[in-house]
Structure 1
Amino acid sequence: MKTLQTSIPPDVSELFELPVPILSVYLGGVPPTHEYSTADLHGAVLRAVAQGSPPKAVEALRKVIEEIPAGTEAKAVFIGADGSSRLFPIPGAPGEDRVIASAVPHLTPLLAWWQTHPAHVVAVVDRAGADITVFPAGDHSPTSTTVTGPDDEIVRTAPGGPAQPRYQRRAEDSWKHNAGHDVEAIAAALERSDARLLLVAGDIRTIQLLTDQLPAWIQNEVEVRMVSGGRSEDGSTDLRAQQVEAEMTEAAHRHGRRLLEEFADRSGQNGRSVEGVAATLRALARGQVRTLLVTDQAADGGVAWFGPAATDIGLHVTGLTRNGVEPERGPVTDVAVRAALLGGADVWVLDPRTPGAPYHGVGALCRFP
């Protein structure tokens, strides 16, 4: 089954250890001709103060915003009550600035951005070799390698006469051998990065020779898509980057649709999916959840209670206090995301307008009924 590599941002689990209340701050990109104004800073600080953030957290927020230079990409910042902070770049993320104080970090915008930037490999090929770039999830710190095929007789000569077919076959054999060499390097890059999205650029004949030699595991497990351009300086770099971005987004949409199809197929009394706040929290409390499905605006602002362990979660505080837990409370969606991540489950963020999204924007695929 073809499925995206859906890892979460590195160190995200550390956010649950920040002293509460935790400030979750989403700052949009700053154009090169603009800096955050005094009004922007004042408004963000006022929102933090109004939500009960302690002085050290407010001062840390002030410092973060004051230090944002012009031309900065969007970012997510999480600040603990003691002023300690964690920052995650999220270039190109949509949405307005947000400042939210709670006992649990507000992660859905960050996770939504990460799921549209899965680990992927871009291979730009020609008859002599390939340029292969590996992008880890989140697009951070890509690495590039150049592969040169073992055969250098790649040009069809045209001497005419009876020797012509022999020269042509020799050149085509060289193309095929070089494509096989490229395939080995691409397979190694996919395995090394755990990427399940391969984007290939080059001339049609070379791409055909390459895709014909892809091993069965790539054909079965990896989405292979075509993008524009070649290895020569043909002015296609910017267009290819735009197409790669679009392909990542579409791959995420396809993955989301597959999850919703599975969610619908498993519904029913004895199925392995649950939906709605109460049923989903019960599944999280039992450690049943394999993949949590949420929207960024789920549950109409309701709250839930949670304790230290992933399974310490419920709609009512009494169920936790009876077990000797000193619970905190936070927005339902954020509490559910915390429980899922701490319990080793995947989380997939859906657009609230997505057809087939779970009731109240919260649901789950379960490991067992």
Structure 2
Amino acid sequence: MKLAFLQDVYGYQGPFATVYLDTSADAEDAAKAVQLRWRSAREQLADAGADEATLRALDETVDRHEYRIGRRGQVLVATAGEVVFGEELPTPPEDASDDEKVHFGTLPHLLPYLRLRASRIPHVVALVDHVDAELTVVAAGAEPRTRRVQGGDHPVHKSPPGADELNEQRFQNRVEEQWLRNAKEAAEEIGKQAMRIGAELVVLAGDPQQRTLVHQNLPGGVRERTVQTDAGHLDRGASAEGLRDEVEDTVAAAVSAHVDEAVREFEQQRGRDERAAEGWSAVLAALQRGQVRTVLWGSPESPSWLHVGPVPNQVALDARELTDMGVSSPGSAPASAAVVWSAAGTDADLVLVDPDEVKLTDGIGAVLRYTDA
């Protein structure tokens, strides 16, 4: 997964308070239960050294939470009296350890969040007919947004049979020209939104003829990441569930393909002893050089903590490595938090892999941008 959307969070000066809450609303006293969980987390953050202004900012955010029926969670990151990141989670954070659920330290603790959203990638869903296009834009780390592209509506319906043949053909030509104009407008907006959020996938649904026109007019880089589906139609509300299921399946397939491709490339490069690194020492050395294109995270058990400096490529097993780089007072952070920060700051992707599918020394590996001379 791409981590550029986290750059804004890392632009703040820590220390950071990170909290994961179960905000499920599957009982009548859900609000009270969440407040009790937050009260416990608040006490832990205070004991860890979180300042009162930051805790109050979190108080206000938790108090404003909008409860919806079902099991879900929430992640919040705050520093210096401000909540700088927050997102609803698709499930409660039950798999996160206690140390991950409540953390106060140099860096935000975001790997549990990334694990929970690993099945979601930035994408655009476009539902089109001969006039309109309804876009659902799903950016990383943000709630879905809906946009509508209103095309011209005259003429868009071909004339009934029985008209003069010549006039009939002229009218049909005008209709098809209007379809094309509307398709170009829709394609332009889809391309703009896809590039804005770095969409890894575009799902194009709706009227088959208009879908084809829109697809043909998408920018090349976006068209390559577009799949078409017969599910959905702007005029049939009953098809919404079918489209939703189709989108979920398509996104899941794209995520799985991305992971498979990263593992396949890693295995190829490792076999050639070229653009691959594995084990803590080799991966951290590559991160220090800005050499990593993709981090493969399996299930590293140690080290628990890493030493970090003020910039993302300053991450090391030994604090002396950082002092040799000129860092006067190295800090420390949980290993997963440090790797996510370093990957995001050096424009590397993160791929969570099944340890049973690929064996990695120390549970961590990397595909590199280039090899050392």
TM-score of the pair, normalised by structure 2? 0.78
1:187 is matched with 187
Q: 1:273 aligns with which of 273, 276, 289?
A: 276
* AA partner of residue 85 (structure 1): V
Q: Give the CA RMSD over aligned residues.
A: 3.6
* Percent of aligned positions that are identical: 22
User: Match of 2:231?
Assistant: 228
Q: Which residue of 1 aligns with 2:317?
A: 315
Q: Which digits, 9 at most, give the CA deviation of each residue in 1:62-109, with x for residues without a partner?
A: 5554554533963321233x5443232234255337212333211223
Kindly report which structure 2 residues correspond to 1:160-239, keeping only aligned pairs within 5 A, or say none. 176-193=176-193, 194=195, 195-208=199-212, 210-211=214-215, 213-214=216-217, 217=220, 221-226=224-229, 228-239=231-242
Letter of the 1:285 partner, please give it.
Answer: Q
How far apart are residue 28 of structure 1 and its match? 3.3
CA offset digits 1:248-305 (Å, max 9, x no partner): 333222222222222222224641121221110010112211222325x534452211
Aligned to 1:45: 42
> 1:174-201: per-residue Cα shift (whole Å, max 9, x none)?
6654443344224312431213422222
Which residue matches 1:14? 11
Give the CA deviation at 1:366.
1.5
1:77 alignment partner in structure 2? 76
Assess if the C-alpha contact under 8 Å between 1:333 and 1:362 holds in 2: no
Residue 152 of structure 1, CA deviation: 1.9
Q: Does 1:24 align with 2:28?
A: no
Q: Distance in 1 between matches of 2:214 and 2:191?
A: 17
Q: Is the 8 A contact 2:302 2:362 kept in 1?
A: yes
Deviation at 1:135, TM superposition (A): 0.9
Contact 1:123–1:199, Cα closer than 8 Å, also in 2: yes
Distance 1:29 1:243 in 2: 28
SS in 2 for 1:90: strand
After superposition, residues 333-348 of structure 1 pair within 5 angstroms as 333-343=336-346, 345-348=347-350
Q: Is the 8 A contact 1:7 1:137 kept in 2?
A: no
Give the match's secondary structure for 1:201. strand
SS at match of 2:262: helix
CA distance in 2, matches of 1:172, 1:5: 46
Q: 1:362 — aligned with what? A: 364
Gaps of 5+ in 2: none
Structure 2 letter corresponding to 1:79: A
Distance 1:321 1:148 in 2: 61
CA contact (8 A) 2:89 2:117 kept: no
- Give the total of aligned pairs: 354
Of 113, 128, 131, the match for 1:129: 131
TM-score, structure 1 normalization: 0.79
- The answer to whether the Cα contact below 8 Å between 1:313 and 1:320 also exists between their aligned partners in 2 is yes
Pick aligned residue for 1:35 from 31, 53, 72: 31
| C-alpha separation in 1, matches of 2:186 and 2:3 | 20
CA offset at residue 359 of structure 1? 3.7
